[in-house]
Each structure stands twice: as C-alpha cells, then as structure tokens.
Amino acid sequence: MRPGRRVSATRRGTTLVELIAAIVLLGIAVPPLVATLSTALENQSERVDREHALRLAEAVLETVLADAYGGSTSIDISADGYADTVGDRLTSIDAFYASLGMDWELAVEGPFDEAGVVTGTDADHFWRATTTVRYRAGRADEDTNFAVSTLLTVFETINDPVVFQPHPFGWSTAHQQYGVDGVPRDPYRWRTTDDDVSVYSPWSNKPIDFEQDLGPDAAPWSMALTVKNFDDDGLPSWYTNFQVDVYINGVKQRVNLPASDTEWHTVWFDIGEQSGELDIELRWRNDAYRKGQYDANIQIGGLQFAQDPTPPTGGP
C-alpha cells in the first residue's frame, strides 16, 4: 500500500493582513523612490543643458579671441555692431542650439585699467568679452542665464610710418620688405599694426620668417633691420638695444639694434657672399617688462638688402 503525501504543517497561503501590509509598505517606499529618480533625471537634464550652454559660449568667445589676436586690421572688437558680425559667422551652429531653446548675446566692455576699472582711455589695453546664453532649465518658470567671460589684451596700434635709413656707404637698396611680409610661426605672438605695414611682439623668442631672392649671381650682400619699440609704458632708461638673432639659411648672427620709443632705427650688417633664395629667421631675445612701469615690445618696420657695388678684385 502506497503511503500518502505528507503535507508540511508550516506551508500556508498569504493572509489578507500580510497582503495589506505589503501594499502599505510599497505605498510608503515607492513615492520617495520615484521622486528621487525624477530629481536625478532633472539634474541630469540640467547638466546636459549647462554643458550645451558652455559649448555655445566657448564657440562665441573663440571667435572673439581669433578676431582680437588674429592680426586682422579690418575687425574691431570694440566697434558697435561687432556682436552682429560674430552672429553672422556662427549661423551654422546657431540653428542647432536654437533647436534646444538656447540663444546668446555678446557684450564687449572696456577699456579697463590694470585695477579693473573702466576708463574709456585707449592707452588701457584690457577688454572683457562676456557671452550670456539663455535657456529654460528643467521645470523652471524663468529662463536661466549662463555667462562666460574672458579678459582680452588689445593694444592700440600706432600708425607711425616706417622710416628706412640708407646704407652708410651709399650702396643702393636692391630689395626691401615690410614687417608685415614676415610669416610668424605663432600668429598669436606677432601682431600687425593698423596701417598693415609693420609687426610687433610683446613676447621674446618667437620666430618670424622672411624670404628673399637675391638672384643667381653670388656677391657680397648687406642686410638691414628697421625697428622701434611699441608700447605706451615705454622702455626703461637702461634698455638701450634690442638683441635680435638673425638666421640666414640657418647660420646665426646676433644683431644689436638701438631701442627707442619714438624713433625708427636702421642697422646694416654684412651677411657675406650670397645668391639665390634666402630663408631668414628673426628671434628677438631680450624682453623687459614691469607692470605699470615699462614694457619692451619690438616693432619690425622692415628689411633691406644691398649688394656691394665694388667689382671683385684679383683672379684671372
């Protein structure tokens, strides 16, 4: 005879009381959890919005920086209507951010002095560009304004015509270039004056390259540099010479040029027997700066080349 299955005395169904208790517990626990998840999602959405706002603001300010330091003489970041020109150039990205409900405005303030006070004086070179991005964040009833600023140093260029000086022995100048004909390896370290003739740099050891074709026949040549200082603070009394390393096809020589805040000075020096294409690299070496007291910034007006007119002696 098969014995019947034994039923454990401990097995039983869920009682109504237990079911009600479980529902009550869920009712207590779930709403805070849902609220926490909802808050987390809102925070994540706000972080994404802020990241988009930051990228938009950076795009605007990068355009301003490129205009301020790119060497263009046709763009004035302080001019009325400048912000409109930036907007015209950013239409390709504006459409994307507009689809996210974002718009922006640009304010350029200055000039400031070194203490951060707006003076309106052109001799003070500091400007502040601020991009404000507006958007509706999460469930906010009002727009959020997200602002990013950058400080610019914009030098007032002085249209002082370059004065070239002839060779001291009367050699006629065969070739002449202006400073603007040079090609800086770092375009942000050399700046073009408003007259689009000379270039200047507040930083030493920043190379600028020139080229000159002297023709096929080898002959003794001299080269000249014409320079002056570019800054309203001026030079200290002890600063008498710009030290410039001149590399001609890789061969270096040090040239000392008289430094002046008001006058152009030309120095001629021999570069030996040369012919054909010259690769010329200039590096200014002796910067000098003390805040509010003096500032040496070499300004290169141009280069000259003169050939020795004396016929060669000796030989067959």
CATH code, domain carrying 250 = 2.60.120.260
Give the range of the structural domain holding residue 61, as residue numbers without chain letter: 27-153
Instruction: Label residue 185 by pLDDT band (50, 70, 90).
Output: very high
Same domain, 40 and 107: yes
What's the mean pLDDT when you consider all of the chain? 81
Cα(177)–Cα(72) distance, rounded to whole angstroms? 19
Task: Pick the range with the lowest mean pLDDT from 22-31, 113-122, 201-210, 273-282.
Answer: 113-122
Predicted local confidence at residue 221, as pLDDT: 95
Mean pLDDT of 144-166: 70
- Could you tell me the CA-to-CA distances from 189 to 44, 66, 128, 175 in Å, in that order? 41, 12, 20, 26
Cβ(114)–Cβ(291) under 8 Å? yes
Same domain, 106 and 213: no
> Which residues, in sequence order, are CB contacts of 39 under 8 Å at separation 6+?
none
Cα(242)–Cα(228) distance, rounded to whole angstroms? 9
Instruction: Give the total number of structural domains in the chain.
Output: 2
Please state whether the peptide bond connecting residue 31 to the residue before it is cis, i.e. omega within 30 degrees of 0: no
Same domain, 181 and 112: no
Mean pLDDT of 121-146: 73
Last residue of a domain, one of 122, 153, 184: 153
Mean pLDDT of 210-223: 94
Task: Pick the range with the lowest mean pLDDT from 13-27, 116-130, 158-172.
Answer: 116-130
Instruction: Label residue 129 by pLDDT band (50, 70, 90).
Output: confident
Same domain, 136 and 178: no
Residue 288 belongs to some domain of the structure: yes
Cβ(182)–Cβ(162) under 8 Å? no
Phi/psi of residue 184, each to 5°? -70, 140
> Which residues, in sequence order, are CB contacts of 12 under 8 Å at separation 6+?
none
Asked whether residue 263 carries a pLDDT value surpassing 70, the answer given is: yes
pTM: 0.53
Task: Pick the range with the lowest mean pLDDT from 40-44, 80-84, 295-299.
Answer: 40-44
Q: pLDDT higher for 101 or 277?
A: 277
Phi/psi of residue 22, each to 5°? -65, -45
Q: pLDDT higher for 163 or 247?
A: 247
Same domain, 197 and 137: no
Mean pLDDT of 99-120: 76
Mean pLDDT of 235-253: 95
Same domain, 70 and 189: no
Q: What share of the chain has pLDDT > 90, as a percent?
A: 35
Residue 257 belongs to some domain of the structure: yes
Residue 18 belongs to some domain of the structure: no
DSSP class of residue 297 equals -
Same domain, 50 and 85: yes
Predicted local confidence at residue 164, as pLDDT: 87
Residue 88 belongs to some domain of the structure: yes
Predicted local confidence at residue 241, as pLDDT: 96
Residue 248 belongs to some domain of the structure: yes
Instruction: Label residue 38 by pLDDT band (50, 70, 90).
Output: low
Same domain, 138 and 233: no
Residue 163 belongs to some domain of the structure: no
CA 32: distance to chain centroid? 50
Strand ranges inside 38-192, DSSP E: 103-112, 126-135, 144-153, 173-178, 183-184, 191-192
Residue 159 belongs to some domain of the structure: no
- Tell me the sheet residues that pair with 66: none
Asked whether residue 6 carries a pLDDT value surpassing 70, the answer given is: no
Cβ(155)–Cβ(69) under 8 Å? no
Mean pLDDT of 85-105: 84
Task: Pick the range with the lowest mean pLDDT from 24-28, 273-277, 304-308.
Answer: 24-28
Specify the 3-state DSSP secondary structure of 95: helix
Asked whether residue 157 carries a pLDDT value surpassing 50, the answer given is: no
Asked whether residue 41 carries a pLDDT value surpassing 80, the answer given is: no
